[in-house]
Every structure is written in C-alpha cells, then in structure tokens.
C-alpha cells in the first residue's frame, strides 16, 4: 500500500507532549490525538458516530466511524504516522519563553509564571500516513477535510488554548476527489465536541510601528510591577518574531477575553481550571507583515452572549492587556475581525459539496 504525506509549516509552536504533559520531543501520538479530536467533531457534525473509548467499549463488527479509522480496544488503528523534517539542514528548536500572571494566585498568594513554549522549525514538517489496512476513500476524504479545518480555522497538537498549533499546509498528497461519505448513525456517541457547536474568529492586529522595533522597545506586557522575581526574557520574544515569525501574545489574548465572563463558575466552565480543559482556544499572533499579525479565537459549547462579547469587545480589551504602560496603547493602530465562521456553516458547505450517506444499520 502506498504511503501518503502532508507537508506543513508551523505558524506558531507545536506542542505534542506525552502523558505527563512533558514536551521534550515531538511525538506522533500527540498529532494523532489532535487529528482524532477534530475528526470526531467533524464526523458527529455530519451525523456520524463517535464513542468515548475511555468510557464505552467500541468493539465487535460495528465500530463507530471514528474508531473504525483511529482504532480502539481490540481494533488497531488503520495507519501508522511518522513525523520528519524537510529543508536545508532542518532541525527542531524548543522555544521556551515566560509571561507572568496578572494577579497573585489566590491559594499560594504569589505571582506565577506561564510559559509560551513548544517546538518550532524553519523547515517543513512532513507527516507521513502509512496504511496498515485498507483505508476507505470516504475516510481519506474525512481526513482531508479535517486537515483543512485545522489549517483554516483551528490548531494542531496540544496546548492550543495557549497559542500553539497554527499551521499552513504546503503540500498534501492524500487521496482526494471523493464526493461520497458513508457514515454510521447506529450506536453510542458522546455529545461534545461537535463541529456544529463551534465558532471561529480571526482578528487582524496592526501596530503603528514595526513589531521588531516594538519588541526592542520592550513595550509588551510581560509581568506585574510587583512581580519582583520575574526574569525578563526578551531574547525569546526576539527569536520568536525574527526567526519564527510569531508574536507570543496568546496569554494577552486570553487575559483580554476571560474577564468578559463575570460569573466565576461559568468562566471556569468556558476557560477551564485545574483538571478541566478550556472550551475556548487562542493563538499567538502569526505574521502577516512587519506591522501586522493575525490571532485566532475559537471554541465550542459557548453560548451566543459570550461569543458576542468576545466579538464586540476584544479590540478594547486587548488594548488594556497588551502593553506594559498605558501610554503605549496608541501603538496598537487597529484590531479588527478579519473572518468569522460557525461550525454550522462549515457543515452546510460540506453537505453542499459531498453526498453524505447515513447508515442506521437496518
């Protein structure tokens, strides 16, 4: 069976940590897990099934649509995945910068440090799919569409709520041109995430000066004035922008939108807390030109009021969180919504392009 490759350029760092959340190596399992997560959301959005293999046994002859490709207990994944680099003397670099917290932590009564970290490279990341059994054309099509959604609106890998994983697909030779998708509707399926419940925003941020100069002037917020133990790491900012073309402002973006939810319980539900993941994800600013970056804010299971608040107030909120001094606010020339998309719209577009056949087992 033929191997297939997808070549991607990382626009923000890639995180593929292990079970202990260590990110000291690029791990194929982290990429597979992320692909499966998005594949599940897409399949369920189209009316197919996806179980939770940690809670529900999905074995026998009739697997759910996701386990059929990605595997489960007693049923191996249909493909092996390998990750390599391509380019002139390509290599990985683990970038590890730091941003302080805005306030002291309630329990430990001190400021904490947050890391903007992950693997970056000037080369291309080559993801090779090696079939181990026959992969149906409809499964290839769904995998292709999954990758397109990640590239256009989402992010790949882990820590995508902290800025990581925005990619650009440079080359894709997976099988395409399949206009029919066969899905199973019979069986158990978990409720979330499901693509129809997603929202996607892209904001374009324009500065009055070049970003290189702004970093040299150290105008961006890095820590609270009373955080005396914080050690400046502007060289990481310079390397992120000059070498890898991203501005590490994901925590500024999160800090800008978190206060929009006043109720503490609801805020923790949406943005996560210890032991619970976030439903809202943000990116660092990836380069558009010398003065402009783009950031993504996307998520699922968030009510319309919260989405509207993010959409309408992000510009004002970001001005308050982005810079070290208030007088620097004028250096933010514009922050505007560049693109807005809902998961429902994506699903409808796919249904207009594809013939989706749902099999209820009868």
pLDDT tens for residues 254-263? 999 999 999 9
Phi, psi of 154 (to 5 degrees): -110, -140
- Reported pTM: 0.93
What is the domain partition of the chain in residue ranges? 4-359
Is residue 25 very low, low, confident or very high in pLDDT (cuts 50, 70, 90)? low
CA dihedral 128, 131, 132, 133 (to 10 degrees): 160
CA pair distance 134, 140, nearest whole angstrom: 11
Reported as a single tens digit per residue, the pLDDT across 135-158 is 999 999 999 999 999 999 999 999
CA pair distance 267, 273, nearest whole angstrom: 9
CA pair distance 207, 319, nearest whole angstrom: 11
Q: Cα–chain-centroid distance for residue 54? A: 23
**Half-sphere exposure in the Cβ direction for 360 (13 Å, CA):** 1
Give how far Cα 132 sits from Cα of 2, 70, 129, 172, 207, Å: 10, 11, 9, 20, 50
> By C-alpha distance, which of 54, 74, 278 is closest to 188?
54
The CATH classification number of 4-359 equals: 3.30.70.1900
pLDDT of residue 189: 57
Residue 23 has pLDDT above 80, yes or no: no
Q: Are 174 and 348 in contact (CB under 8 A)?
A: no
By residue count, the chain amounts to: 362
> By C-alpha distance, which of 342, 301, 284 is closest to 153?
342
Is residue 178 very low, low, confident or very high in pLDDT (cuts 50, 70, 90)? low
CA dihedral 263, 266, 271, 273 (to 10 degrees): 90
């Amino acid at each position: 069976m033929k191997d297939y490759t997808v070549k991607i350029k990382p626009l923000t760092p890639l995180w593929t940590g292990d079970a202990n959340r260590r990110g000291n190596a690029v791990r194929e399992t982290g990429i597979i897990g992320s692909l499966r997560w998005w594949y599940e959301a897409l399949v369920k959005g189209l009316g197919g099934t996806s179980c939770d293999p940690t809670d529900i046994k999905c074995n026998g002859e009739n697997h759910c649509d996701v386990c059929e490709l990605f595997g489960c207990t007693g049923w191996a994944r249909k493909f092996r995945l390998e990750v390599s680099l391509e380019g002139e003397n390509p290599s990985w670099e683990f970038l590890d910068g730091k941003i302080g917290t805005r306030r002291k932590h309630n329990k430990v009564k001190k400021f904490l440090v947050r890391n903007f970290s992950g693997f970056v490279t000037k080369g291309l990341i080559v993801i090779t799919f090696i079939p181990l059994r026959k992969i149906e054309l409809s499964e290839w099509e769904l995998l292709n569409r999954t990758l397109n959604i990640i590239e256009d609106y989402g992010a790949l890998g882990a820590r995508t709520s902290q800025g990581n994983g925005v990619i650009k697909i440079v080359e894709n030779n997976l099988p395409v041109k399949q206009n029919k998708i066969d899905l199973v509707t019979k069986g158990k399926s978990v409720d979330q995430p499901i693509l129809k419940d997603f929202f996607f925003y892209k904001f374009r941020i324009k500065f009055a000066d070049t970003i290189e100069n702004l970093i040299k002037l150290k105008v961006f917020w890095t820590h609270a004035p009373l955080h005396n133990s914080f050690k400046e790491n502007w060289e990481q900012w310079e390397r992120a922008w000059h070498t890898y073309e991203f501005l590490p402002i994901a925590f500024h973006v999160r800090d800008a939108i978190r206060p929009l939810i006043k109720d503490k319980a609801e805020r923790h539900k949406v943005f996560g807390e210890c032991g619970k993941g976030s439903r809202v994800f943000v990116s660092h600013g990836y380069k558009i030109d010398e003065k402009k970056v783009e950031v993504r804010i996307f998520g699922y299971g968030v009510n319309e009021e919260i989405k509207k608040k993010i959409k309408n107030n992000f510009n004002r909120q970001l001005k308050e969180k982005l810079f070290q001094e208030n007088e620097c606010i004028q250096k933010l020339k514009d922050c505007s919504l560049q693109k807005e998309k809902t998961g429902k719209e994506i699903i409808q577009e796919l249904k207009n392009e594809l013939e989706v056949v749902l099999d209820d087992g009868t």
